[in-house]
Amino acid sequence: MKGKNKNKESIKNQVETRTVAERIIIKQLHHEIEEHKKTDQITQDALAYAENIVDTVREPLLILDADLKVVSANRSFYRVFKVKPEDTYKQHIYNLGNRQWDIPKLRELLEEILPKTTSFDNFEVEHDFPDVGKRIMLLNARKIYRKLNHTKLILLAIEDITEHRRIEDSLEKTVKELEIIKKSTDEVSELAESIINTVREPLISLDQDLRVVSVSRSFYEFFKVKPEETVGQLIYDLGNKQWDIPKLRELLETILPQKATFDNYEVEHDFTTIGRRIMLLNARQIERGMGKERIILLAIEDITQRREIEKGLEKAHKELQDLAVELKRATRAKSEFLANMSHELRTPLNSINGFSEVLYDETFGPLNEKQKKYVNNILTSGKHLLLLINQILDMAKIEAGKMNLALSNLPIKSLLNEISLLVADMVSKKKIEMLLEIAEDLPDIEADELKVREIIYNLLSNAAKFTPEGGKIGMRAKKTDSGIEVVVWDTGIGIASENTKKIFEGFFRVDTPYSRVTEGTGLGLPLSKKLVELHGGKFSVESEGLNKGTQVRFTLPIISRKVV
């Protein structure tokens, strides 16, 4: 009985002992569980804190696993590179954004540099992204080992320095430009100084108190002053107060403060050293630089001699005007005299020519050979004199403004052919060939028939007269946009270049052995030219030189201008 009781008590003691141990173990397990919960909470808090930091920073961040796949990315990464979380998470970094991130420099960092070190800073990568454009980035990379789950991670921080680099480049460019500007400014200053000291025109610069800042050498030379008596002095005190000129005060104190520039301001003054001078002043107010005071630049031109010349020219011009009026009056008087004289001579000369023709035709009886020769000489001279008188009368009328045109409808084609027949006898006697090129479609024109006849006969007879035997003369006529053009040409003696302008002077004749034996008044060409111009046409003479022929060209309008 006692033995059984001992066994029961022993078993009871063992149970109680085991229960206490179990309780201790359970208590320890509960303690560990609580501690683990606390640790896990701390871990969760730490993770949340880290994630908040990652999402808050403005710098894009990526976390990659050992296989370079994206474990996590912050909001800045998505915003800056315009990608979505679903297209990023668990993707290989090189495959992001349709392989936009497959960048050789990035591969170099992740595959070559980082495996040899735990971190690398300021690794520069430049890449042109289709979505966000060209970017320059500085990469910081860190390898992280997580003991809890024995994993390796790579933290990649990306700083976009594109704008920063642009600003740096801009600043560098600006610095270079400033250096160039400074150099240019120095060169310009040196050039300006050289110009000031080279120009003959006196130049002086003044500060805002009208004191002399700088002076050109020409100023010292012209106004006979010295540098030590000039620079720093009030302009009015220069040369023992010689520059205290009322007109100069007006420019500097009244006009220039209201107007930054003023040109050709005339000042006249009697200087003790150089005498009386008339000057033109050009004044400019200019700023010497940013925030610096203004200076006045004064350029002085001495026009004393010019004014004397102008006065002389003005006097001469007035005398010339008076002379021109007198000459015009004399010319008109001469023209009127010639017109009157010619008119008075025509009547008796016509009588002389008439009686000479009657005598030459032996109307009153036969003449012997000697008598007939004398009568023929009288008749030839009379006709030449009558031609001269008629031409003088016409020239006088034109110069006096008294020539009137009797305009009528004129069939120019038939008139040209008719006048060519008048010179046919002269052409035949001299064994000259005459060529005509008169267009069939020539229209009638409005002109003075007698005057046009005179023009054409003058030119054709001149061509025949000044062309030696065996030569050629001709006439061309055609319609142009401006009217009718007629050209009379010959292969005759021509005109020397020095005489081409003289041929339109009255009574001028080309002096050649051949021309001396031909009749002429020297008025044919000038009169023809004036008659053509009176109709509103143009007249010109062309010749390549002596013995190379002459070409006379004139135009007549279809409808002539009215002449009163």
Cβ contacts of 461 within 8 Å, gap of 6 or more = 423, 426
Q: Which two tokens stand for residue 171?
A: 């600043």
Q: Which helix (H) or strand (E) holds 402?
A: none
Please state the φ and ψ torsions of residue 433, each to the nearest 5 degrees.
-95, 130
Nearest CA to 543 among 512, 521, 507? 512
**What's the CA gap between 180 and 188, in Å, rounded?**
12
Torsion of CA 422, 427, 430, 435, to 10 degrees: 170
The CATH architecture that domain 404-556 belongs to is: 2-Layer Sandwich (3.30)
Give the pLDDT mean for 349-354.
76
| Tens-place pLDDT, residues 410-427 | 999 999 999 888 888 888
Sheet of strand 472-480: strand arrangement = 433-438, 472-480, 483-490, 550-556, 538-542
Contact 332, 400 (CB under 8 A): yes
Is pLDDT above 60 for 560?
yes
Nearest CA to 267 among 234, 292, 304? 304
| Tens-place pLDDT, residues 16-57 | 554 555 556 566 656 656 655 555 555 455 445 455 555 556
Query: Tell me, what's the pLDDT at 342?
Result: 61
Q: Which helix (H) or strand (E) holds 121?
A: strand 119-129
Please state the φ and ψ torsions of residue 381, each to the nearest 5 degrees.
-65, -40
CATH T-level fold of 59-160:
Beta-Lactamase (3.30.450)
Tell me the DSSP string of 536-560.
T-EEEEE--STTS-EEEEEEE-SBP
**What's the CA gap between 7 and 503, in Å, rounded?**
174
Is pLDDT above 90 for 487?
yes
Is pLDDT above 70 for 325?
yes
Handedness of CA 99, 103, 104, 107 (dihedral sign): negative
Query: Tell me, what's the pLDDT at 261?
Result: 82
Query: Tell me, what's the pLDDT at 115?
Result: 86
**Dihedral class, residue 98 (left if φ above 0, else alpha if ψ from -120 to 50, else beta):** left
What is the chain's length? 564
Give the pLDDT mean for 449-473.
90
Give the pLDDT mean for 109-132.
84
Contact 97, 87 (CB under 8 A): yes
| Tens-place pLDDT, residues 509-548 | 555 544 444 455 567 788 888 889 988 999 998 888 788 8
pLDDT category of residue 272 using cuts at 50, 70 and 90: confident
Exposure pattern of 181-200 as b/e (b: 16+ CB <10 Å)? eeeeeeeeeeeeeeebeeee
Cβ contacts of 327 within 8 Å, gap of 6 or more = none
**What's the CA gap between 210 and 252, in Å, rounded?**
8
**Dihedral class, residue 552 (left if φ above 0, else alpha if ψ from -120 to 50, else beta):** beta
Contact 70, 155 (CB under 8 A): no
Contact 64, 44 (CB under 8 A): no
| Tens-place pLDDT, residues 328-345 | 777 777 666 666 666 676
Sheet of strand 151-160: strand arrangement = 70-73, 61-65, 151-160, 133-146, 119-129
Q: What dotted CATH number matches 199-302?
A: 3.30.450.20
Across 41-45, 235-239, 476-480, 543-547, the highest mean pLDDT is recorded for 476-480
Residue linked to tokens 């208590």 = 27
Is pLDDT above 80 for 159?
yes
Contact 199, 218 (CB under 8 A): yes
Q: Which two tokens stand for residue 379?
A: 């008749």
Is pLDDT above 80 for 142?
yes
**Mean pLDDT of all residues in the chain?**
78
Query: Tell me, what's the pLDDT at 283?
Result: 82
Give the pLDDT mean for 124-131.
84
Query: Tell me, what's the pLDDT at 438?
Result: 93
| Tens-place pLDDT, residues 296-319 | 888 888 888 888 888 888 888 888
Is 199-302's fold the same as 404-556's? no
Query: Tell me, what's the pLDDT at 516?
Result: 43
Query: Tell me, what's the pLDDT at 15?
Result: 46
- Is residue 12 classed as helix, strand or coil in its secondary structure? helix
The CA-atom distances, in angstroms, between 51 and each of 44, 46, 73, 169, 273 are 10, 8, 10, 36, 93
| Tens-place pLDDT, residues 353-386 | 787 887 878 887 888 888 878 877 787 777 667 6
Q: Give domain limits for the chain.
A: 1-56, 59-160, 199-302, 309-386, 404-556
Cβ contacts of 130 within 8 Å, gap of 6 or more = 97, 98, 100
Is pLDDT above 60 for 561?
no
Give the pLDDT mean for 177-189.
64
**What's the CA gap between 232 and 241, in Å, rounded?**
14
**pTM higher than the cut 0.85:** no
Residue linked to tokens 């990526």 = 62
Q: Which helix (H) or strand (E) holds 337?
A: helix 304-360
Query: Tell me, what's the pLDDT at 194?
Result: 56
The CA-atom distances, in angstroms, between 547 and each of 137, 475, 493, 498, 518 are 92, 19, 4, 14, 16
Q: Which two tokens stand for residue 497?
A: 């270049």
pLDDT category of residue 196 using cuts at 50, 70 and 90: low
Query: Tell me, what's the pLDDT at 155?
Result: 85
Query: Tell me, what's the pLDDT at 499?
Result: 72
Query: Tell me, what's the pLDDT at 247?
Result: 86
pLDDT category of residue 8 using cuts at 50, 70 and 90: low
Contact 225, 238 (CB under 8 A): yes
